[in-house]
Amino acid sequence: MFNSVNQYCLNSIVALSEVCPVSADEDILDEHGNKLWARGLRISRDLQERLLRRKLARPIETTLTAEGAITFVDVIRDCRHLIAEQTLLAKVAGGHSAQALIDDLRTVPIPGPLRLLLTAVRDQYPEGYRHMLSCVAVSAGIAARTDLPDHEAKLLLIAALLHDLGEMYINPDYVRNSDQLNCAEWKHVASHPRVGQMLIQEMTSLPPSVGICILQHHQRLDGSGYPHYDTHMPQHPLGALLATADAASAIIMRSGPGAVSRVGLALKIVPEEFDRQFVSALLHAFGDDEETVACDELDCQCAERAAAISARLGKAMDIGEAHWTKNRGRCGGELVGSVLGVLHNIEKSVRATGILELEPLGDLEQNQELLNEIRLVIMELEWRMRNLARNLYIRAEAKGDRELHELWPLIRVLDDTVPWDPTSPDADWSSAH
């Protein structure tokens, strides 16, 4: 994969070279042995044009070095600053045990290609770098509170730092606007855990468990998530911890009042998704302090939105069960069987929250705290249904047009922003947001 130069990754490296020297460690050769760039020369836009037209003898990432490239000493310093800056991170990772786990990374060498990529992330995508650091901090906090052995904790924190490097190989417009992507666009973003694992496998000698953690950081214990939608694939224990830390740190970094409530809801609303031990350890770290969030005008439609979720869930399960009965024993039937399992989990969560019993609660507008809790529940459930549609699309498309057409009614009920027909010339993908 990496012998063909990825334009998005190369764009970031070239942009980095404009603020700090990036030079060739060795002659850069194409697959036929022709020299494209001499050892010692600084990278420039001229090289960019040459590389994008050729396959290389070795991945470009392995042949370049950035002056002042990031080390774990830098990571530890930046992580400490972020913990001091973010109150919730301080609660999770400010203790002695968590800090000791982070400090223990000081002697770990970062493989050259990953130093280059991390340096580019720090320079070009500072918010992405801060998310990586926050994931390290949350992972350390959970590891300390669950008495994870030091060796395993070290591997976990390495994976936490590297977990989103695969995004360097994806159109940055997709990464920045991932919440607004349609199914066809989303599949590119959903590939980043696999790309990240391949980076570890092909360019480093890091233990395979680091790559597995990176691969699974968007997987869920119930088989949902991506890139592998599979209820039969066991999740590595460290992968399960990283998945918890990644989900929580994304919310923490958006910060603001109510962040603790949002983290708790995201991790607990569907109990089958995350490891309860890790969730409990994280939420215990937050303590009892929490602020109430004021709701906005849109929240006054909570009852209608809750009813709509319930109706869509019911319709999706009817469609899924009919498809499963018709195709039992076929690959498509097995895929829909997995989807039905997730839908049943979501339905249980909907009923457990009580949002379907809103009418007897009276005038919700007068109870701002309750209204906010309901709003958060609805947002989480709506997001899960849309995410399920995206993941089902990816799996169905991989099986061919016939499978995609057969499953399209189910995909469209789960995410009603998509067009009626995924392959029709009239399908307006540009508006499917």
The pLDDT of residue 365: 57
The pLDDT of residue 364: 53
CB 275 within 8 A of CB 156: no
The pLDDT of residue 298: 44
The pLDDT of residue 383 is above 80 = yes
The pLDDT of residue 403 is above 90 = no
Provide the 3-class DSSP secondary structure of residue 301. helix
Phi, psi of 23 (to 5 degrees): -125, 160
% of residues, the chain, pLDDT over 90: 54
Q: b or e along 246-261 (b: 16 or more beta carbons within 10 Å of the residue's beta carbon)?
A: bbbbbbbbeeeebbbb
CA distance from start to end of the chain: 30
204: left (phi over 0), alpha (psi -120 to 50) or beta: beta
CB 368 within 8 A of CB 390: no
- 130-144, 177-191, 204-218, 290-304, range with the lowest pLDDT: 290-304
CB 374 within 8 A of CB 364: yes
The pLDDT of residue 70 is above 50 = yes
The pLDDT of residue 54: 81
The pLDDT of residue 321 is above 80 = yes
Mean pLDDT of 325-348: 80
The pLDDT of residue 423 is above 70 = no
The pLDDT of residue 420 is above 90 = no
Q: Of residues 293 and 49, which shows the higher confidence score?
A: 49
| Beta bridge partner(s), residue 65 | 23
User: Per-residue pLDDT tens for 13-54?
Assistant: 999 999 999 999 999 999 999 999 999 999 988 888 888 778
* Token reading at 89: 């991170």
User: Per-residue pLDDT tens for 162-184?
Assistant: 999 999 999 999 998 887 788 88
The pLDDT of residue 133: 98
Q: Which amino acid is at 389?
A: A
170: left (phi over 0), alpha (psi -120 to 50) or beta: beta
Mean pLDDT of 315-329: 86
Rg for the chain (alpha carbons), in Å? 23
Q: pLDDT-derived band of residue 134, with 50, 70 and 90 as boundaries?
A: very high
Q: b or e along 166-198 (b: 16 or more beta carbons within 10 Å of the residue's beta carbon)?
A: bbbbbeeebbeebeebbbbbbbebbbbbbbbbb
CA distance 426 to 209: 45
CA distance 21 to 398: 42
Q: Which residues contact 65 (CB under 8 A, 6 or more apart)?
A: 22, 23, 25, 112, 116
Which range of 198-202, 298-302, 355-359, 419-423 scores highest in mean pLDDT? It is 198-202
Q: Which amino acid is at 224?
A: S
User: Per-residue pLDDT tens for 103-113?
Assistant: 999 999 999 99
Q: Which residues contact 176 (CB under 8 A, 6 or more apart)?
A: none
E strand or H helix at 234: none
Q: Which amino acid is at 247?
A: A
The pLDDT of residue 261 is above 60 = yes
* Token reading at 281: 């350890």
- 150-154, 377-381, 390-394, range with the lowest pLDDT: 377-381
| Paired sense of beta strands 28-29 and 35-37, if any | antiparallel
CB 197 within 8 A of CB 228: no
Q: What is the mean pLDDT of the chain?
A: 86
The pLDDT of residue 232: 58
Phi, psi of 136 (to 5 degrees): -60, -45
CA distance 44 to 162: 26
CB 183 within 8 A of CB 160: no
Mean pLDDT of 329-351: 81
CA distance 67 to 22: 6
Q: Of residues 354 and 73, which shows the higher confidence score?
A: 73
The pLDDT of residue 392 is above 60 = yes
| Closest to 356 in 3D by CA, of 389, 313, 320 | 313
pTM, whole model, 2 decimals? 0.89
Q: H/E/C letters for each residue in 345-393? A: HHHHHHHHHCHHHCHHHCCHHHCHHHHHHHHHHHHHHHHHHHHHHHHHH
